[in-house]
Amino acid sequence: MTLRHTGAKSNVPTGHMEDTIRHIQNTLTSIQQGLLQAAQERLQNKTIRINSYAEMKKFLSSADSVEHGFYLAPWCCDASNEQAIKEETKVTLRCYPFEHNEIAPKEGIECFYSGKQATHMAIFARAY
């Protein structure tokens, strides 16, 4: 039996069922780890830390697609501000990433949009 993984063929042992199962499990684990690593790298490379609304708008207006992605910003929850950002830029709030929100509120950090005390770090993005 032949199995394709990343475009390369590999032989699958067919003599003992246990060896075949172990080989397939290892291959699937390797594929999954590769996909996860690629996704994590893409997320890291496409996440831009911003401190102001003007900064985000500058990135959005750039013709360089490298500067388009996810914007990590200090945020003070306000539905009307969220709606205003959406209407002007087509950018929406996506989530409050756990790793950036372990300690709340964000003392001494101002919201990137309103200038009020930030309550969260938030990810904003535009759907393409």
Q: What CATH code is carried by the domain that includes residue 109?
A: 3.30.110.30
Catalogue the E-assigned strands of the chain.
2-5, 8-11, 47-49, 70-75, 91-95, 120-126
Same domain, 54 and 39: no
Residue 97 burial by CB count (10 A; 0-12/13-18/19+): exposed, middle or buried? middle
Q: What is the pLDDT of residue 24?
A: 87
Quick count: other Cβ atoms within 10 Å of Cβ 92? 14
**What's the number of domains the chain is made of?**
2
DSSP 54-65: HHHHHHHH-S-G
Residues 112 and 75 in one domain: yes
Q: Give the closest residue to 124 by CA, choosing from 74, 82, 72, 83.
A: 72
Q: Report the length, in residues, of the chain.
A: 128
Query: Domain check: are 41 and 55 in the same one?
Result: no
**Planar angle of CA 72, 74, 77, nearest 5 degrees:** 115
pLDDT, one tens digit for every residue, the chain (128 residues): 555 556 677 777 777 888 888 888 998 999 999 999 999 998 889 899 999 999 999 988 887 655 678 999 999 999 999 999 999 999 999 999 988 887 655 678 899 999 999 988 999 998 86
- Domain shared by 58 and 118, yes or no: yes
Q: What are the beta bridge partners of residue 11?
A: 2
72-102 residue pLDDT tens: 999 999 999 999 999 999 999 999 998 888 7
Residue 19, domain extent = 2-45
Angle at 113 between CA 70 and CA 46, to 5 degrees: 10
